Structure 1
Amino acid sequence: MTPPEHLTVQGPEDILGFIPHSLGYWPADSLVAMTLQGRRLGATLRLDLPGPETLADPRDYARTVRDYLRADQHADAALLVFFTNDGWMDLPQTYTGLLAALQAALGTSGMPVRDAWYVGDTYWRDAYCSDRSCCPLPGRPVEDIRDSRLNAEMVFRGSSVGPPPDGGTQPQGSISVEDRAAMQAAEAAWSVQLEIRRGSRVQFDALLGFWEGLLGSWTGDALPEDQQAFLRASLRVPAWRDAVLVMAAAGMRTAQSGAEQFGIFDAGCRLAPVGPGVPETLPGPGAASAGAPGVPGYGEVLLGLEPVLPDWRRLDGLDRILEQLSACGGQAGAAALTGRGWIAWCRGRGSYAAAYLGQALEEEEGYRLAELMLELVRRGTLCGWAGRKEAAWQKFGPEAA
């Protein structure tokens, strides 16, 4: 996430108060690195703090941090924050080598470290200040951060800080066994009808039309159970699942063109389309020819390379819908969680992406798209949109003031 344009930072407490809002949670045992563009905050990166073996020679770790931050092409400085409680009084000795390695790696890349801090559960302090008169031990109270002006402004704008992504319950935890079974039975009934229409172009257009209409009109209320069952069944078809993700980010024409290019349609499949509210799902939007000029491919969209700016409003809506659809688990739940993992990765929230993708694999062992996406996340591969400030997701949108 990149910060809104009109936040005012008056001191380190404001910077430190912004980090949990940027990540969505209060980090622990983490290094958080932030880029600066002049006097403006840029991108936020979180990594696990290294263990003793890495601390003995932290140069590779420092180069990894540098390589991540290079994605912000406009960065001209960096800030570092060590979130830890281990050996609080001895932190300078513990992290002196790592801090020096980070300074060297970032400094030679045009991003000199401007400031660094240690933050624990109770205290925080400046990593460079050893003057007890202005930096008394054990440090300043963390309440200074929680009560900072910027933190208050973020809360006023509607931001909240939740639990760490690996600390929540499974999405189906609040669903009763009976409701879960009923949903999966309704989903199975729809799947029988959709399975024999996998090759139908008119069913594909009607399905995407239904999803597009939902993204354009949904107000955030719980979807009717019949709609949830139908949408869950649609996500069980990999080509349709991918088309929904692509359509949300890049539009209907891109989703249709890619489907044509993959050759998923069977001209002999002439069954009438099905879905909740048909004929409201008809007619489907007009067809786009395969590989049409100026229309990005699925791979380019799924990696965040095209379009230049995705439709973040629709992606945010899709994320909330997929949250509902993931609640009853199963293969459809794995598909929904994988979609949420992809959206989190597109937003630059790798920790959340890994958590969603891990939950998807718990629901459906070997779920291929989740495995592929999790490998990208673990390698530290950045989504193309997350690496460009002009395209990156903003929690409150560019109009926030």
Structure 2
Amino acid sequence: MNALTIKDPADLLSFIGHTLGFWPQESLVCITLDKGKVGATLRIDLPRQPGTELPYARTVSSYLTSDTSTTSIVFALYTSQHCQPGQPKPHAATIAALTGVLAQNGITIRDGVFVSDETYSPYDSEPGQDISLPISTTQYSRVNAEFIYRGSTIEPTNRIILPTPTHEEDHATAVENCMNSIRAQAPHQAALQASQLWTNMLDSNDFPTDEDCTTLIAYFQLPHIRDRLMADIPGINEPPQHLLFAQTETAPKWPRVEWAQQLLIHAYTRTSPQHAAPILTTIGYINWWEGRGSKAHQYLQLALDIDPSYRFARLTDQMLGAGIIAGWNTNKNTAYRNNLDMP
């Protein structure tokens, strides 16, 4: 695969859109650089309250400095706020705070782009100077053409759209009956059988039968088995607690992780509301592993909408809210596609 060269703002915005998979809104996107080579990509919501610029800058800096090879960054600021004639650009205080905090860590800001709903322009252009270009011109950038050739697309938003579950009553009854059978077994034996079923699915190229899907949904309802199945997903031989919190030096098998997510979405279409929360929470957790914080949050909120008392979803969402990054994403050798998308 040929290396991509980013030569102008249109290339940069195309690179961001295809790397994230969607067009950001009310977001700051930073790309780390080391000797001119692109490193990690970070997207994070813009601060919503005035006076929070410095804590926000420190949070952004903590994410960016996790890549110890970073020497500089470029950024793009996406907002619907309009530039006022003769006034600094929106969120100027945020960028000023970030510039100072990064400088304390030996990192410089090489360039920045201001992106409105219709146009983009250099962030450091003089107030009142209009050198903006239409967003539509990014469609003709070299980088955009190369990504499209590779089969990539940019979605208009990051909003998840779930397939419609069947909600058939006989599915719910079958899951409950299966759970009763599982509870009648010795816990260790039940966990072993669950792991064998799940591993076979992960190693297969086909979606499971409805019967196996029902059994899988039942297994995920039981916390001690659910955790065992989650630890099976990365496909590497490490202690389960290290796998769950992404604290391994060995990279997970990311194609296997992606397939696990597809299997769980397939299982979701065969759940009833009373059994959906563990499936949605696990999908959210996978998105956290992948550095897709905003999508993870959406899945967790959907799980809590269905079952507000589901503790695993609430604790995981609190972890995201605290800004905790999956360990794999702090190392470019283990990170998923080398990007972070934080709410």
Give me the TM-score of the superposition, normalised by structure 2: 0.90
Does residue 224 of structure 2 align to residue 199 of structure 1?
Answer: no
Does residue 15 of structure 2 align to residue 18 of structure 1?
Answer: yes
Q: CA deviation at 1:28?
A: 0.8
C-alpha deviations, 1:44-73, integer Å up to 9, x for none?
A: 22222223523xx62222111111111111
Which residue in the other structure is 2:262 paired with?
A: 320
Q: 1:142-153 maps to which residues of 2 (within 5 A)?
A: 142-153=135-146
Query: Does the aligned pair in 2 maintain the 1:236–1:331 contact within 8 Å?
Result: no
Query: Does the aligned pair in 1 maintain the 2:83–2:89 contact within 8 Å?
Result: no
Matches of 2:331 and 2:252, distance apart in 1: 12
Segment of structure 1 superposing worse, 314-323 or 151-160: 151-160
Matches of 1:10 and 1:78, distance apart in 2: 15
The residue identity in structure 2 corresponding to 1:181 is E
Matches of 1:242 and 1:351, distance apart in 2: 23
Which residue in the other structure is 2:31 paired with?
A: 34
Which residue in the other structure is 1:303 paired with?
A: 245
Cα RMSD of the aligned pairs, angstroms, is 2.3
Q: CA deviation at 1:330?
A: 2.8
Which residue in the other structure is 1:211 paired with?
A: 198
C-alpha deviations, 1:169-211, integer Å up to 9, x for none?
A: 4x36x2345xx3232222222222112125242x332321121
Equivalent in 153, 161, 174 of residue 160 of structure 1: 153
Which structure 1 segments of 5+ residues have no match? Answer: 255-295, 396-401
Alpha carbons of 1:224 and 1:163: their partners in 2 closer, same or farther (altered >3 Å)?
A: farther
Which residue in the other structure is 1:355 paired with?
A: 298
Matches of 1:329 and 1:110, distance apart in 2: 53
Segment of structure 1 superposing worse, 142-151 or 65-74: 142-151
Matches of 1:245 and 1:51, distance apart in 2: 35
Alpha carbons of 1:390 and 1:82: their partners in 2 closer, same or farther (altered >3 Å)?
A: same
Alpha carbons of 1:302 and 1:92: their partners in 2 closer, same or farther (altered >3 Å)?
A: same
Query: Does the aligned pair in 2 maintain the 1:326–1:334 contact within 8 Å?
Result: no
Matches of 1:88 and 1:184, distance apart in 2: 54
Matches of 1:8 and 1:66, distance apart in 2: 25
| Aligned residue-pair number | 336
Alpha carbons of 1:361 and 1:228: their partners in 2 closer, same or farther (altered >3 Å)?
A: same
Equivalent in 220, 241, 244 of residue 229 of structure 2: 244
Which residue in the other structure is 1:92 paired with?
A: 88
Q: Which protein shows a greater Rg? A: 1
Q: 1:1-400 maps to which residues of 2 (within 5 A)?
A: 6-54=3-51, 58-89=53-84, 92-130=88-126, 136-137=130-131, 139-165=132-158, 167-169=159-161, 171=162, 174-177=164-167, 180-197=168-185, 199-201=187-189, 203-219=190-206, 221=207, 223-251=208-236, 254=237, 296-327=238-269, 328-394=271-337
The residue identity in structure 1 corresponding to 2:172 is Q
C-alpha deviations, 1:273-296, integer Å up to 9, x for none?
A: xxxxxxxxxxxxxxxxxxxxxxx4
C-alpha deviations, 1:331-390, integer Å up to 9, x for none?
A: 432111111111111111111111111111112212122112111111111111011000
The residue identity in structure 2 corresponding to 1:319 is Q
The residue identity in structure 1 corresponding to 2:226 is R
Query: Does the aligned pair in 1 maintain the 2:249–2:334 contact within 8 Å?
Result: no
Moved beyond 4 Å, runs of 4+:
none
Alpha carbons of 1:176 and 1:301: their partners in 2 closer, same or farther (altered >3 Å)?
A: closer
Matches of 2:199 and 2:156, distance apart in 1: 32
Query: Does the aligned pair in 1 maintain the 2:160–2:298 contact within 8 Å?
Result: no
User: Quick one: percent identity of the two aligned structures?
Assistant: 28
